[in-house]
Structure 1
Amino acid sequence: MSGAAETHPAKSARAGGGAALKVLTVGGAMIDTIAIIASSAIERMVLLNAEASFLLLEEGRKTEALEVSMHCGGGAINTAVAFARLGLDCAVIAKLGQDRRAEQILAALEGEGISPRWVSRVSSAPTGSSVLVSSHDRNAAVFTFRGANTLLTPQDLADSAFDVDLVYIANLSNEAVDCFPVLIEKAKRAAAKVAANPGIRQLHGRGGAFRAALPQLDILALNRREADEVVPLIDRGHPNGDAPLDFTGGVAAPALAERGFKYESLRMSVRSFCCALLAGGVGTVVLTDGRGGAFAATGNRLFYCPAHEAEVAGTAGAGDAFVATFAAYLAGGAGPDTALRAASVNAASVLGTVDTQTGLLKRTDLEARLGGNGSTPNVIGWTL
């Protein structure tokens, strides 16, 4: 991981194996209500040219569900649990209401050994909540009420919270996006590495702040839709950036290698997109595309890892699992190829459960799967 940060003795000791790496996650905290609907009970409409599909809910009709359950979720909480199960010493910055949802989230953090010291609560808004309707291929439609998540302010960001090795900034909601540059400034002042996974609304509404922050990001993670939104924000003039990627070794070329990224009339290949972000100062770029696998670029190397096979019970949280696992392994000294494999396996485990956290693996279990006789993703790479 790159980044110009001064040496901190305690952090050097942790990186050398003296203690668990410390991580701070920042972002959303939610209670997810998940409804599983039989495919025969709800219609789906697929728009092939628009690359979209829709679940059709009939107005005024009661639809029987196979199951309805409630779980903790949100980017900050999902990634905190992922980091904690991988053996990192984790704390969270998030905003909750004064309600039962908040108590459920705080109890879950306690159960995972995650510090709630920097979690603040307000009476002016309830804790965030989402409703997920999952059917057909289990890629849920999500209704989101952001609630107290929108009220995070720079005053909630205590300097001492940033005495960690890694600050992970998940999607920030509405006005909370204004905290993004403050979070990065405080992290860098404390000599912490920064990983960020910004959402589409942040990229669309605060593109200038995002572009200005690129040189300070040690890890930038984007899914395909988010990467599309970044295209107009970065320089697209990179010689050799459009040289095709040669897929060999039994790995099939993913759709993203052909599609690339696009915003209105603007187009960029995966290679040119990564080159632009690295030239802009980002240490490592991670690009995810669900079943299409993931790319990672750092230095002068680009890597691709296919998605690990999984029987999908629910897609929610798989992206959080992937990026948190990648960041944890990279922060711990692993190479990008190893980090990609570990991230793919952990994300596949999350896909096997309906909620965002039950499938997250402990490090011993993840290492066993990586080292077992079963097939793990075959990472291939190119020189940029």
Structure 2
Amino acid sequence: MAAVVLLGDINIDLVLDIPFYPPEGGEGIATHQTVALGGSATNTAIALARSGHEARLIGRIGADAWGRQALSDLVGAGVATRWIGEDPAEPTQINVVTVGASGERTMFAYRGANAHLAPDDIAESAFEGVALFHLSGYALLQAPQSQAACRAIDIAAARSIPVSLDVPGGVASTIAGKVLSLLPKLDMILLDGADLPRLLHRPQGSDLEPMLAALLAGGVRRIALKGDGAASRLCRREGTDSAPWFSTAAVDTTGAGDAFAAGHIHGSLTGLSGPDCCRLANAFGAVAVTRKGAGIAMPGLQDALQLMAR
């Protein structure tokens, strides 16, 4: 299998199951609590490592117990951690994730050490012999991490390494300017259909096709689109492929998009066709929503293949 570099957040998730959301000033009494490793790039790295790839994660943790736990979990999951730095002042990021009765998650976060990843923290050695560089859009939220992300993209471009970018739900408007400026350097962008108008500053409900065409005209070569009706889509200038979603009972949607990204990355690196890439990505995401939390609960290739076989 291939070596993949990933850059993004490393955090600890405090996941609380709540039966309903209280009004401001009220109280939401959780029915279940989980503390686990998380972070968009972290989740994708674990899914890729469990699929046989060498996943090299670039990130930053605090000099605290949570950071040590994160490193231990990453090593246990088979992720290469030598490019993860330790911040002497900022803590490891903690996310409070609430999961409602439908399985949908809502996240509150202090980005801590992650946001302090600097350009000088990006070692070119991480990119030696690498087949793909994957960037989480959270890394574009604020400097110096956003500057570090751009340096990593430039290193990848200089080595002709394809770059994929996952645009997380909820931050598309915030990072839109940076994303659009990076389009010529991207091989693939992954995002939800509902985030397309936010990314392009169009009214909600706008026709997807002109927006997809605008992204492709901006230079990106492939668009992996989640949340597009009953199917996911992989759009290129020469045409569009798709595959229907799998029907599973959602327990927790945390990490589903990160798993979806891992499926597309694996499919791309192993030469799968467009429809097969979509189907595999859908299977990764479908397995993820049947599990509590993300991190070490992330699926691998065999989990996805078992679902597809059923």
Deviation at 1:185, TM superposition (A): 0.7
Q: 1:221 is aligned with what amino acid?
A: L
- What is the 5 A alignment of 1:1-16? none
Matched, 1:263 2:198: no
Query: What secondary structure does 1:263 align onto?
Result: coil
Match of 1:4 in 2: none
The answer to whether structure 1 residue 221 and structure 2 residue 190 are counterparts is yes
Q: Compared with structure 1, are the counterparts of its residues 270 and 225 closer, same or farther at alpha carbon in structure 2 (3 Å cutoff)? A: closer
Residue 278 of structure 1: CA displacement? 1.8
What is the distance in 1 between the residues matched to 2:192 and 2:297?
20
Q: State the secondary structure of the residue aligned to 1:35.
A: strand
1: CA distance, partners of 2:206 / 2:153: 27
How many pairs align?
306
Instruction: Name the aligned partner's letter for residue 126 of structure 1.
Output: P
Task: State the distance in 2 between where 1:213 and 1:313 align.
Answer: 35
Distance 1:359 1:133, change over 3 A: same
Deviation at 1:162, TM superposition (A): 1.6
Would you say the 8 A contact 2:169–2:191 is kept in 1?
Answer: no
> Could you say which residue in structure 2 is the equivalent of 1:95?
60
Deviation at 1:290, TM superposition (A): 7.8
| Paired position in structure 2 for 1:243 | none
How many angstroms apart in 2 are the aligned matches of 1:27 and 1:290? 25
Q: Shift of the alpha carbon at 1:158? A: 0.9
Please tell me whether the aligned partners of residues 181 and 209 of structure 1 are also in contact (alpha carbons under 8 angstroms): no
Amino acid across the alignment from 1:263: P
Deviation sequence 1:43-63 (CA, Å, 0-9, x none): xxxxxxxxxxxx2257364x5
Residue in 2 aligned with 1:147? 112
Q: Cα gap change, 1:149/1:298 in structure 2, threshold over 3 Å: closer, same or farther?
A: same
Matched, 1:112 2:77: yes
The answer on whether the counterparts of 2:77 and 2:296 sit within 8 Å (CA) in structure 1 is no
- How much has 1:268 moved relative to structure 2? 4.3
The CA deviation at 1:82 is 1.0
The question of whether the paired residues in 2 share the 8 Å contact of 1:26 and 1:92 is answered with: yes
Q: Whole-Å Cα distance in 1 between the matches of residues 167 and 306 of structure 2?
A: 31
The aligned residue for residue 355 of structure 1 is 293
Q: Which is further off, 270-279 or 313-322?
A: 270-279
Counterpart residue number, 1:258: none
Instruction: Choose from 240, 246, 249 the match for 1:311.
Output: 249
Q: What's the CA shift string for 1:117-167, capped at 9, x where partnerless?
A: 110011110000111122221212211111111101111111111221110
Moved more, 182-191 or 89-98: 182-191
Q: In 1, distance between residues paired with 2:228 and 2:69?
A: 29
- Change in CA separation of 1:198 and 1:180 when aligned onto 2, cut-off 3 Å: farther
* Alignment correspondent of 1:123: 88
1:164-198 Cα offsets, whole Å, 9 max, x none, are 11100012142222333222111111221100013
Contact 1:285 1:296 in 2 (8 A): yes
| Alignment deviations for residues 335-383 of structure 1 (CA, whole Å, 9 cap, x no partner) | 121011111111111101120145533323322332x2x3xxxxxxxxx
Distance verdict in 2 for CA 1:291–1:316, change over 3 Å: farther
Q: Is it true that 1:189 corresponds to 2:158 in the alignment?
A: yes
* Structure 2: runs of 5 or more not aligned: none
Aligned residues of 1:290 and 1:307 also touching (Cα < 8 A): no
What is the distance in 1 between the residues matched to 2:97 and 2:74? 22
Superposed displacement of residue 213, structure 1: 1.7
Aligned pairs for 1:1-384 within 5 A: 20-37=1-18, 39=19, 42=20, 55-57=21-23, 59=25, 61=27, 63-163=28-128, 164-170=130-136, 171-172=138-139, 173-175=141-143, 176-199=145-168, 203-205=172-174, 207-232=176-201, 262-263=202-203, 268-289=206-227, 292-370=230-308, 372=309, 374=310
Structure 2: how far apart are the matches of 1:204 and 1:58? Answer: 25
Contact 1:34 1:355 in 2 (8 A): yes
Q: TM-score scaled to structure 1, two decimals?
A: 0.74
Check whether the contact 2:73–2:296 (CA below 8 A) recurs between aligned residues. no
Give the letter for the 1:100 counterpart: A
1:292, CA displacement in angstroms? 4.8
**Matches of 1:215 and 1:189, distance apart in 2:** 13
Distance 1:162 1:229 in 2: 32
1:94 counterpart SS class: strand
Judge conservation of contact 1:350–1:358 (CA < 8 Å) in 2: no
Larger CA deviation: 182-191 vs 111-120: 182-191
- Give the secondary-structure state (helix, strand or coil) at the position aligned to 1:174: coil
Aligned partners of 2:234 and 2:241 also within 8 Å: yes
Q: TM-score, normalised by structure 2?
A: 0.91
Taking a change above 3 Å as real, the CA distance of residues 293 and 145 of structure 1, as seen in their structure-2 partners, is: farther
SS in 1 for 2:258: helix
1: CA distance, partners of 2:77 / 2:59: 16
Larger Cα Rg: Structure 1 or Structure 2?
Answer: 1
Counterpart of 2:109 in 1: which secondary structure?
A: strand
In 2: Cα distance, 1:291 partner to 1:121 partner? 42
